[in-house]
Amino acid sequence: MKVIPVPSHVQGYTQALRDCPFFERLTLSSEDQVKTKQYHEQRKRSELAQTAGSLEDFFRSLEQEVVIANVTPDSDRPRRATHAEDEPVQRNHAAL
């Protein structure tokens, strides 16, 4: 835990935080970059949801695709969404 000394007057809090080396960040990790991208994408989805006329219009605006893969009962793969390298059959909304 780090305790930051702050002045008695509230107006000095901002400068105290700026001067504290505890909050310095010299590099961005790949996780930081991914999170930033996710935040931007979420903001865009929220904006689309607000402007869409209906839930169906909102989903259509996301341009999502459904990936369907053949899975046999004796398959040892976990039952989850597959990655592109698994070569599933891909269909867009129009093809369905």
HEC letters along 71-92: CCCCCCCCCCCCCHHHCCEEEC
With respect to residue 96, please indicate whether it lies within any of the assigned structural domains.
no
With respect to residue 77, please indicate whether it lies within any of the assigned structural domains.
yes
With respect to residue 15, please indicate whether it lies within any of the assigned structural domains.
no
- Is the full-model pTM beyond 0.75? no
Nearest CA among 65, 64, 63 for reference residue 89: 65
Parent domain of 35? 30-91
* Number of domains composing the chain: 1
With respect to residue 9, please indicate whether it lies within any of the assigned structural domains.
no
Query: What average pLDDT score do residues 33-57 get?
Result: 89
Between 42 and 94, residue with greater pLDDT? 42
